[in-house]
Amino acid sequence: MNKYKICVYAIAKNEEKFVKRWMQSMKEADEVYVLDTGSEDNTVKLLKKYGAIVKEEIINPWRFDVARNKSLEMVPEDADICVCTDLDEVLLPGWRKILEDNYIKNGRVSYTYNWHIREDGKADVTFLLNNIHPREGYYWTHPVHEVLVSNNKNKTQILKDIILNHYPDNTKSRKEYLKLLELSVKEDPNDDRNMHYLGREYMYYKKWDKCINTLKKHLSLEKATWKPERAASMRYIARSYQNLGAINEAIYWYKLAEEEAPNYRDAYVELGLLYYNDKKWYDSINHLLHALTIKNKDLVYINEVFSWDETIYDLLSLNYFELSLYDLSLYHIEKALEINPNNERILKNKSIIEKYKKESLK
């Protein structure tokens, strides 16, 4: 007999390609509730077919927090545990038993979230998410990049063996994000998290000056104290200056990011790439080798994919090749291929390096 009544809740729009997989992974729950916000495909039909309780409602003007709160309202008050996921996510089997065996009553739960998964199935961006919570006293806030908050002072327990995998639909537009982030910052100009996200969004849209100004505001906020996120803002400022052709400014901000979060690889890798593109081979090598000395990857969303895939070894190989150090170049390109053995460009580069090494021995 189950100890707790566990309910999954979600929002959906035009997710028919994900419904069957998602419902399969949520079947360990007692009930599944979905707020459909205007699907024009078979999402609603399929959700009902596989056992979800569905409500349809158009949210106008659109806000993610409003939609999340309306989906949470669908969950009955006698639910002990609520689990919020999206339809492009998959909970690995056995998650309920882990909850049943370890749950601290009325508490919130953090679990493993594999946000980015490579083609070979390995996760290279993983962090803790905490969207498992009691029914009462919780609500969502912010129009986008919404956050689950609580009136309670419940402690959060960590259950890393509960694993949620993310398989995003990269064809979906995120055009509404910028407008909603601008609204979010307007509503709460002292919220450091959304100020950071807004600056990052400006960078995605190549609005370099707006990115720089917004992220400098982020760094000036009293609440902006989390060093990894501060370092990320500094890196995005550096990228923007780089795209504006202000290379010295970019180097300055990358170095600030290194100082702000010295135990994170990202700024060292990005500066290493800048120096490589600027043909400063030894400077590039120094920063890339330093990045490799950082072995621990914290479970936070800030980590960049390129800091933990084949990129560092690939860049080191290119730098050593430019210096005619073919043994070192070959060593590092082989390390890159251990991580990504099917990269055609790197495979071609290996053949070129081997050719030059052979000729240098004549």
Domain boundaries, the chain: 6-166, 175-308
pLDDT along the chain (362 residues), means of 10: 92 96 97 97 97 97 97 97 97 96 93 89 89 95 95 87 92 85 96 96 97 98 97 98 98 98 97 98 98 92 91 98 97 96 95 92 77
> What is the rounded CA–CA span in Å between residue 35 and residue 78?
19
> What is the rounded CA–CA span in Å between residue 256 and residue 235?
9
CB 203 within 8 A of CB 171: no
Each residue of 67-76: pLDDT tens digit? 999 999 999 9
CB 27 within 8 A of CB 47: no
Query: For the domain bounded by 175-308, which CATH number is listed?
Result: 1.25.40.10
- Strand 31-36 versus strand 6-12 pairing type: parallel
Within 10 angstroms of residue 169's Cβ, the number of other Cβ atoms is 11
> What is the rounded CA–CA span in Å between residue 227 and residue 47?
42
- Check for a shared fold between 6-166 and 175-308: no
pLDDT at position 354: 94
C-alpha dihedral over 241, 272, 124, 347, to 10 degrees?
A: 120
> What is the rounded CA–CA span in Å between residue 240 and residue 247?
10
pLDDT at position 218: 98
Output the DSSP codes for 100-164. Answer: HHHPPTT-EEEEEEEEEE-TTS-EEEEEEEEEEE-STTEEEESSSS-EEEESS-PPEEEEEEEEE
Listed in sequence order, the residues at least 6 apart from 30 whose beta carbon sits closer than 8 Å to its beta carbon are 2, 5, 6, 7, 79
Is the domain spanning 6-166 CATH 3.90.550.10? The answer is yes
Q: Shortest CA distance to 168 belongs to which of 113, 109, 131, 129?
A: 113
